[in-house]
């Protein structure tokens, strides 16, 4: 499963819990987990002092995930890569990157890349980028500190302006019109189940949003639905995007931050301060603009 799907799926699952519980205290019904056993020994010596002494900070970023993180030959590129660079610069160290593959759940990613390490090969990183934040979910992952909230992400629809001269389509249009989605993404599930499956015939599935947007650009489909930043990154002349009301969508917007091992609070504070400064002085917005994107500031 891709990170974008899991980000929304976590938020949607949280909404299934009784509203009264989360309105008062999102952690009220939480039962503490058994203490984890056999956590990797490679986390020893990864506190802030050790990082400053050795001179580099290791960031976990998702591989092949433009516009957020990918390798251009051997050069790391993307919004998350450049934000990580600002964090490392603020700490006076070098940024190094571990390009990681998304597991079936976010819990597995956090276990593999932040607090325990993968079952075979590899090791934990100091900071993981582009982690969806939800207060109720954060209660349940005791081994991880969630911090550095730096942006929001939301679902949008990109469309061919020649096909929709009067404005962008709403989901109901896809009873007849064609729309591209990333396979097994939250947009795929939403449209496939919308109005009892009435839109399913018009949904065209692709391996990733880059391929979905390429299909829209070539005229293979009339629209594409997915995370706004990924749609913006794939826009070509003649295409536009909008964000219509999405009836029945549990949560079409979510927060993004970073995650690190719970034991290293001073590192968490330093990372949070660096991200807050980049958000406050416009450097993060400039990074988004560099990739043709619009920063959606975090809204609580």
The CATH number of whichever domain residue 7 belongs to comes to: 3.40.190.10
Of 20-24, 162-166, 175-179, the least confident: 20-24
What is the number of structural domains in the chain?
2
Mean pLDDT, rounded, of the chain: 88
In 105-202, where do the E strands start and end? Answer: 127-133, 144-160, 179-182
What pLDDT, on the 0 to 100 scale, is given for residue 122? Answer: 72
Q: Which residues pair with 286 in a beta bridge?
A: none
Cα gap 251→266, rounded to integer Å:
33
Q: Which helix (H) or strand (E) holds 15?
A: none
Q: Is residue 35 part of a domain?
A: no
pLDDT band for 130, please (50, 70, 90 cuts).
Answer: very high
What pLDDT, on the 0 to 100 scale, is given for residue 13? Answer: 43
Q: Is the pLDDT of residue 2 over 90?
A: no
pLDDT band for 15, please (50, 70, 90 cuts).
Answer: very low
Q: Is the pLDDT of residue 14 over 60?
A: no
Both 206 and 278 in one domain: the answer is: no
Both 136 and 284 in one domain: the answer is: yes
Tell which residue, 296, 212, 192, has the closest CA to residue 254.
Answer: 296
Helix, strand counts (H, E) of the chain: 11, 11
Report in angstroms the alpha-carbon separations of 270 from 56, 60, 144: 14, 17, 16
pTM for the whole thing?
0.87
Both 58 and 142 in one domain: the answer is: yes
What pLDDT, on the 0 to 100 scale, is given for residue 24? Answer: 61
Chosen domain end from 208, 224, 242: 242
What pLDDT, on the 0 to 100 scale, is given for residue 17? Answer: 41
CB atoms within 10 A of CB 269: 13
Q: Which helix (H) or strand (E) holds 97?
A: strand 94-100
Q: Is residue 28 part of a domain?
A: no
pLDDT band for 22, please (50, 70, 90 cuts).
Answer: very low
Both 276 and 228 in one domain: the answer is: no
Both 237 and 276 in one domain: the answer is: no
Q: Which domain holds residue 93?
A: 3-17+44-152+252-290
Both 139 and 285 in one domain: the answer is: yes
Both 97 and 236 in one domain: the answer is: no
Cα gap 222→179, rounded to integer Å:
6
Cα gap 205→189, rounded to integer Å:
11
Both 104 and 178 in one domain: the answer is: no
Q: In this predicted model, which residue has the larger pLDDT, 24 or 293?
A: 293
What pLDDT, on the 0 to 100 scale, is given for residue 158? Answer: 98
């Amino acid at each position: 499963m891709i990170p974008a799907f899991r980000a929304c799926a976590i938020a949607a699952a949280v909404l299934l819990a009784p509203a009264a519980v989360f309105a008062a205290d999102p952690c009220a019904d939480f039962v503490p987990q058994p203490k984890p056993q056999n956590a990797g020994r490679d986390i020893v010596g990864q506190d802030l002092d050790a990082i400053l002494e050795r001179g580099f900070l290791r960031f976990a970023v998702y591989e092949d995930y433009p516009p957020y993180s990918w390798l251009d030959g051997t050069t790391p590129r993307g919004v998350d890569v450049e934000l990580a660079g600002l964090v490392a610069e603020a700490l006076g160290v070098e940024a190094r990157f571990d390009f990681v593959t998304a597991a079936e759940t976010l819990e597995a990613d956090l276990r593999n890349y932040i607090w325990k390490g993968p079952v075979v090969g590899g090791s934990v990183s100091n900071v993981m980028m582009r982690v969806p934040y939800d207060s109720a979910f954060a209660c349940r992952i005791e081994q991880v500190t969630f911090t550095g909230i730096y942006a929001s992400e939301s679902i949008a629809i990109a469309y061919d302006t020649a096909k929709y001269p009067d404005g962008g389509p709403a989901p109901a249009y896809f009873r007849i019109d064609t729309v591209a989605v990333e396979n097994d993404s939250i947009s795929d599930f939403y449209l496939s189940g919308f109005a009892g499956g009435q839109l399913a015939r018009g949904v065209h599935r692709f391996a990733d949003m880059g391929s979905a947007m390429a299909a829209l650009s070539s005229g293979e489909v009339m629209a594409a639905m997915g995370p706004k930043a990924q749609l913006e990154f794939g826009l070509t002349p003649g295409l536009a995007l909008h964000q219509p009301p999405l009836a029945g969508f549990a949560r079409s917007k979510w927060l993004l931050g970073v995650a690190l091992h719970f034991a290293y609070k001073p590192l968490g504070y330093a990372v949070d301060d660096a991200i807050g400064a980049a958000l406050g002085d416009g450097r993060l917005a400039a990074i988004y603009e560099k990739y043709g994107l619009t920063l959606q500031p975090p809204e609580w």
